[in-house]
């Protein structure tokens, strides 16, 4: 049968989802936790395939073998068949055991704390961005988590407001962040590269704009990143546009919400720490590229890009916005 013209767009639309890339696939695990969960999924998937094949095979067999035929007469009636009844009671029970045992094992394995000496990262969910604190390293950042490959990581998570859920599918698992509680997730990333993630619990107007990135790096790259993040913010050159931006920042509304280490006035904690904002790839809950143009639009009218944003629109003169952008971009 040739697809009708009306069916064709529907088919194209349906298969369009198969094109990739798949930054948030759950089927390409990149940590021990991810591999554990993926193995469980694979086991249960093949059990389901076997059950499906047997059930559908029997169904088709019966439909064809015992179909009504001309002159076939009335089917005979039968009451009870002990062997069959025992069989179809035991088989599902056995299948459930085969599924339940590995599932329980995985639940316990994925709930276990990281081994001693793991890298601790505190994750704090905010409407609508992520705060990442490395208490042992003295680093605070937002939306982009850096981790060394091959080292166990312990995330300790909580929320500053409503319930959020940390979900970086490549690393495995998904765990809620609740105010007043600490939830934990532990894993060891096994390959260098970027892992995309997002909030997985509806948390208000911009829930869909609460994304995150995890950068898994070699030991030396991670050490470099940490060393740079620990320093105070860059001081702009005298007389530069960035210096004017710093002055506007330190004497304007920005300091009410943002911290910049090295700028004594900037100690706000409502919004992300901006000490090294220029070194980040993304802005606004990892939803926008960190470019001059997007930064300008973000400062001028954040709520238009992220509905409900706590950061208000700032109708500043063009030259002031340009100076602020130059300053923030200089914070590498």
Q: Give CA–CA dist 262/230, Å, rounded.
A: 11
- Beta carbon of residue 245, minimum distance to ligand CUA (angstroms, whole number): 30
Q: Is 216 a binder of ligand CUA (CB under 6 A)?
A: no
CA angle at 331 for the pair 328 and 332, rounded to the nearest 5°: 135
- Beta carbon of residue 127, minimum distance to ligand CUA (angstroms, whole number): 7
Comparing CB distances to ligand CUA, the nearer of 283 and 326 is 283
Which long-range CB contacts under 8 A does 230-234 form with residues at least 24 apart? 230/137, 230/138, 230/139, 231/261, 232/261, 232/262, 232/275, 233/260, 233/261, 233/262, 233/263, 233/274, 233/275, 233/276, 233/331, 234/330, 234/331, 234/332
Comparing CB distances to ligand CUA, the nearer of 132 and 327 is 132
Q: Is 197 a binder of ligand CUA (CB under 6 A)?
A: no
Backbone angles phi and psi of 191, in degrees to 5: -145, 145
Q: Is 285 a binder of ligand CUA (CB under 6 A)?
A: no
Distances (CA, A) of 10 to 2, 4, 5, 20, 45: 14, 10, 9, 18, 28
Q: Is 125 a binder of ligand CUA (CB under 6 A)?
A: yes
Beta carbons within 8 Å of 225's beta carbon, 6+ residues apart: 146, 217
Whether the CB-CB separation of 168 and 215 falls below 8 Å is answered with no
Name the one range near ligand CUA by CB under 6 A: 44-52, 186-194, 195-203, 320-328: 195-203
Q: Which of 139, 145, 203, 299 binds ligand CUA (CB under 6 A)?
A: 203
Q: Is 123 a binder of ligand CUA (CB under 6 A)?
A: no
Q: Which of 32, 131, 144, 201 binds ligand CUA (CB under 6 A)?
A: 201
Q: Which of 199, 283, 299, 311 binds ligand CUA (CB under 6 A)?
A: 199
Comparing CB distances to ligand CUA, the nearer of 139 and 210 is 210
Name the one range near ligand CUA by CB under 6 A: 23-31, 68-76, 196-204, 265-273: 196-204
Kindly determine how many residues on this chain lie close enough to bind ligand CUA according to the rule CB under 6 A.
Answer: 9
- Beta carbon of residue 131, minimum distance to ligand CUA (angstroms, whole number): 12
Q: Which of 164, 211, 297, 306 binds ligand CUA (CB under 6 A)?
A: 164
- Beta carbon of residue 198, minimum distance to ligand CUA (angstroms, whole number): 8
Ramachandran sector of residue 150 (left: φ over 0; alpha: ψ -120 to 50; beta: rest): left
Name the one range near ligand CUA by CB under 6 A: 27-35, 178-186, 197-205, 230-238: 197-205
Beta carbons within 8 Å of 27's beta carbon, 6+ residues apart: 38, 41
Pairing of strands 164-167, 193-199: antiparallel
Q: Give CA–CA dist 32/42, Å, rounded.
A: 15
- Beta carbon of residue 177, minimum distance to ligand CUA (angstroms, whole number): 8
- Beta carbon of residue 132, minimum distance to ligand CUA (angstroms, whole number): 14
Name the one range near ligand CUA by CB under 6 A: 35-43, 167-175, 203-211, 266-274: 203-211
Give per-residue burial for 4-32: e unless 16+ CB within 10 Å, then b: eeeeeeeeeeeeeeeeeeeeeebeebbbb
Q: Is 207 a binder of ligand CUA (CB under 6 A)?
A: yes
Binding site for ligand CUA (CB under 6 A): 125, 128, 164, 199, 201-203, 207, 210
């Amino acid at each position: 049968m040739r697809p009708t013209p009306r069916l064709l767009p529907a088919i194209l639309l349906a298969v369009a989802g198969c094109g990739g890339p798949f930054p948030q696939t759950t089927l390409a695990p990149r940590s021990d936790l991810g591999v554990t969960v993926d193995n469980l999924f694979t086991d249960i998937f093949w059990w389901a395939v076997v059950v499906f094949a047997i059930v559908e095979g029997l169904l088709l067999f019966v439909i064809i073998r015992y179909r009504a035929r001309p002159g076939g007469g009335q089917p005979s009636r039968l009451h009870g068949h002990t062997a069959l009844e025992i069989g179809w009671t035991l088989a599902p029970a056995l299948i459930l055991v085969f599924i339940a045992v590995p599932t329980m094992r995985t639940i316990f394995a994925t709930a276990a704390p990281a081994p001693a000496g793991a890298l601790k990262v505190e994750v704090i969910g905010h409407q609508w961005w992520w705060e990442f604190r490395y208490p042992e390293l003295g680093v605070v950042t937002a939306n982009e988590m850096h981790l060394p490959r091959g080292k166990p990581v312990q995330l300790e998570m909580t929320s500053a407001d409503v319930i959020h859920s940390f979900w970086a599918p490549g690393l495995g698992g998904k765990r809620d962040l609740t105010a007043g509680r600490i939830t934990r997730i532990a894993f060891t990333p096994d390959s260098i590269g970027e892992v995309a993630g997002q909030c997985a619990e509806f948390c208000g107007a911009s829930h869909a704009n609460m994304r995150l990135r995890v950068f898994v790096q070699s030991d030396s790259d991670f050490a470099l990143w940490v060393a740079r993040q620990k320093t105070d913010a860059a001081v702009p050159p005298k007389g530069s546009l960035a210096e004017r931006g710093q002055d506007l920042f330190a004497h304007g509304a920005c300091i009410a919400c943002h911290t910049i280490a090295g700028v004594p006035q900037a100690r706000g904690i409502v919004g992300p720490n901006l000490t090294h904002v220029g070194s980040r790839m993304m802005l606004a809950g990892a939803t926008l590229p960190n470019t001059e143009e997007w930064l300008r639009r973000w400062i001028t009218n954040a709520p238009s890009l992220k509905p409900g944003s706590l950061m208000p629109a700032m109708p500043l003169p063009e030259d002031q916005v340009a100076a602020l952008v130059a300053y923030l971009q200089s914070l590498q």
